[in-house]
Amino acid sequence: MPRNSFLFIISILLLLSCRDKNSTRSENKENITVFSLAMMNYNKGIELAGKYEFENAIPYFLRSADGFEKAQEYNWQAKALNRASLSYHDFSHYDKGIEYAYLAKKVLDEHPEQTNKNLYWYVYNNAGINYDDSKRPQQAIEEHLKALPFAMNASDSSYSYNNLGNTYKKLNQLEKAETYFKLALTNPQSYKDDYHFATVYSNMVDIERLKKDYKQAYYYLDSALHYATISNSPEKLLDIYYYTYQLKDETGDHHSASQFLNNYVQLKDSLFTSEKNNALLYYQTKYETEKKEKQITEQKLISKQKNVWIIILACVVLIGLGILVYSRQKSKLLQKQLALENQLLQELSHSKIQEQRLEISRELHDSLGSQLTLIKSVSDSLLNSTQKLDDALNTRINTLSEFSENSISELKNTIWALNSKELNLNELKLKMLNFINRTSEAKEGVQLHFQFNFKSNYTLSSKQAINVFRVFQEILNNAIKYANSKDIFIEVNQIEKLLTIKISDNGIGFNFEEAKNKSYGISNIINRIVELNGNLNVETAEGKGTKYTIELILDNNHNI
């Protein structure tokens, strides 16, 4: 290479290096300024939300989220989006509340090494309360169950238990609701949260009223009114005014009832007006439009900058390396293009398969799901009818209702697997916990003890996940139906690449060698374990209980 050409290349590289260093210093100063402005917007949003001025608070939260993103402060970005979600909930815009909760989750998912895992609790909590108040109880329960593992302290757990109790109350499952509310009041001395205490005590007032235990309802009423007042929360005052009105009305104190109803109406009218709602809708539309326009402009600028850099680098390569290097680069580019085309074909193939899976899941949901739901609705209406049914017919209708509910649940599990190309261990754990929760209610006198210990969140293909879940489900069902045991112990551990599932009971046991040749369920368990390249060990004897041990090797390439 000629000396002049060599010196020219060195000069170009030095200039580019100096430019990069100056650019980095400038970006650091800009990030500090952007972060400070974002924090000011965030704090202003907190202040306005505390005054119930959500139509003004939400714009500040959204601007702060954009600023934190630009400053690459992803924890704060997630916090701002969670605050926006909560404000939309408090302003009764539940779909927007759900949308921004999931946007916060997306930020956390995209930056796992830089974000605080406890923020997932706020994501699932906010999604849950928005689902609950928009009359989608099953989704609300699922989100609150997801939140519990990320609770960092007694306050977090207490909020989740209260929210679960609130949803079960709306489903008229009062005993279960009361159990969760009492869990929410466990260890209240470990934290001080007047807003939360107002929520739980208000719910206890309403639960006891619904159970017609008016004496107990009045017992909780003083605490609810006290905490609602000192919390300075109009939302909590609205709740307890309305619950007190209902309690007073039902117990014959109509004068006091009318006063509390009047307080409720006046406070509600002062908080939620059409002008506030219109202002929020106007800003939301304006914000989303401006953001899209800004993204388009930034993409154009990035594209233009890339083109400039490509031209500069191309000139350096052409001058410095000549025709030989150019031809080699061309060859490499061709190979890269072929590889990308091959990758594109693979992605198209995966996309086509996923479309087919989604189509199948939609068909299952719209056809079989709707029919099962109709059967359950008809059977429930027969059970709730005023006409007397003989015991035999009543038992059969109950059986039909339970069968329909179980079938709907199984259909949801199948659709869950079909709708995903891959799933991770935490998602599988949630499905197992939901099944344990349903199973624990299926037979009285049986206690389920369970423990999960995952070190890494490995991913599995949908086929592998459903195989593991079905094996787990079949073993647990057999233990409930046939073992006649008082206790069932479940332990799921993941250490490095080894996943171990142990399920044991203290029941009557059985002859495994005989059963595996006759029982379709046992045969299915064995075949699924073979498909997973796993090991199954069964220790059982008549009168001595049964213990299943399953071992599977995991890796992120879905090779089990």
How does pLDDT run across 353-403, given as a tens digit for each residue? 555 555 565 455 455 544 555 565 566 666 676 455 677 677 767 766 665
Question: Residue 130: is its pLDDT beyond 50?
Answer: yes
Confidence (pLDDT) at 96: 92
Q: What is the mean pLDDT of the chain?
A: 80
Confidence (pLDDT) at 184: 84
Confidence (pLDDT) at 371: 57
Candidate ranges 40-54, 126-140, 155-169, 259-273; pick with highest mean pLDDT:
126-140
Banded model confidence at residue 551, pLDDT cuts 50, 70, 90: very high
Confidence (pLDDT) at 493: 93
| Residue-wise burial string across 367-377, b where 16 or more C-beta atoms lie within 10 A, e elsewhere | eebeebeebbe
List, in order of start, the domains of the chain with CATH numbers: 420-553 (3.30.565.10)
Hey, which residues does 504 pair with through a beta bridge? 489, 547
* Cα 359 from chain centroid (whole Å): 24
Confidence (pLDDT) at 66: 92
Question: Residue 100: is its pLDDT beyond 90?
Answer: yes
Contacts of 84 (CB under 8 A, 6+ apart): 58, 61, 62, 65, 100
Banded model confidence at residue 546, pLDDT cuts 50, 70, 90: very high
Each residue's pLDDT tens digit, 412-447 = 656 655 555 677 888 888 888 888 888 777 677 888
Neighbours of 515 (CB within 10 A): 16
Confidence (pLDDT) at 23: 55
Question: Residue 10: is its pLDDT beyond 70?
Answer: no
CA 533/CA 527 separation, integer angstroms? 10
Banded model confidence at residue 535, pLDDT cuts 50, 70, 90: very high
Confidence (pLDDT) at 558: 46
Confidence (pLDDT) at 26: 58
Confidence (pLDDT) at 492: 94
Each residue's pLDDT tens digit, 214-229 = 999 899 898 888 988 8
pLDDT top residue among 549 and 558: 549
Of the listed ranges 161-170, 179-188, 376-385, the least confidently predicted one is: 376-385
Of the listed ranges 107-111, 213-217, 305-309, the least confidently predicted one is: 305-309
Helix (H, G, I), strand (E, B) or coil at 443: coil
pLDDT top residue among 554 and 149: 149
Each residue's pLDDT tens digit, 483-505 = 888 999 999 999 888 999 999 99
Strand order in the sheet with 546-553: 447-454, 487-495, 498-505, 546-553, 535-540
DSSP conformation class of 456: S
Banded model confidence at residue 111, pLDDT cuts 50, 70, 90: very high
- Which residue matches tokens 């238990």? 161
Each residue's pLDDT tens digit, 38-53 = 999 999 999 988 887 8
Banded model confidence at residue 461, pLDDT cuts 50, 70, 90: confident
Mean local confidence (pLDDT), 95-123: 93
Question: Residue 209: is its pLDDT beyond 70?
Answer: yes
pLDDT top residue among 214 and 339: 214
H-state helical runs in 111-136: 119-133
CA 313/CA 307 separation, integer angstroms? 10
Banded model confidence at residue 547, pLDDT cuts 50, 70, 90: very high
Confidence (pLDDT) at 376: 58
Question: Residue 559: is its pLDDT beyond 90?
Answer: no
Candidate ranges 27-36, 274-283, 383-392, 414-423; pick with highest mean pLDDT:
27-36
- Counting residues of the chain whose pLDDT is more than 90, the rounded percentage is 27
| Cα–Cα distances in angstroms (integers) from residue 151 to residues 86, 122, 124, 125, in the given order | 18, 9, 11, 10
pLDDT top residue among 310 and 408: 310
Candidate ranges 49-58, 247-256, 311-320, 337-346; pick with highest mean pLDDT:
247-256
Question: Residue 536: is its pLDDT beyond 90?
Answer: yes
Amino acid at 150: F
Structure token pair of residue 546: 């049964």
| Residue-wise burial string across 520-543, b where 16 or more C-beta atoms lie within 10 A, e elsewhere | eebeebeebbeebebebebebeee
pLDDT top residue among 271 and 219: 219
Confidence (pLDDT) at 370: 47
Supply φ then ψ for residue 328, to 5 degrees: -65, -40
Of the listed ranges 210-214, 260-264, 321-325, 436-440, the least confidently predicted one is: 321-325
Confidence (pLDDT) at 267: 81
Q: What's the whole-model pTM score? A: 0.46
| Residue among 450, 444, 441, 462 at smallest CA distance from 490 | 450
| Cα–Cα distances in angstroms (integers) from residue 491 to residues 72, 146, 310, 413, 534, in the given order | 40, 19, 56, 21, 17
